[in-house]
């Protein structure tokens, strides 16, 4: 059982945003 669900959710959201920004900078013509 996860004791820090909020921290896990924040981490997942942060990683998702970083990945989106990374691909946006990598392929700006598709965004």
Query: Could you give the CA distance from residue 21 to residue 27 in angstroms, rounded to a whole number?
Result: 10
Q: pLDDT digits over 12-26, tens only?
A: 999 999 999 999 899
Share of the chain above pLDDT 70, in %: 87
Query: Could you give the CA distance from residue 21 to residue 29 in angstroms, rounded to a whole number?
Result: 13
pLDDT of residue 9: 95
Query: Could you give the CA distance from residue 30 to residue 11 in angstroms, rounded to a whole number?
Result: 26
| pTM check: above 0.75 | no
């Amino acid at each position: 059982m996860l004791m820090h669900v909020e921290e896990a959710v924040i981490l997942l959201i942060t990683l998702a945003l970083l990945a989106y920004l990374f691909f946006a900078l990598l392929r700006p013509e598709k965004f």
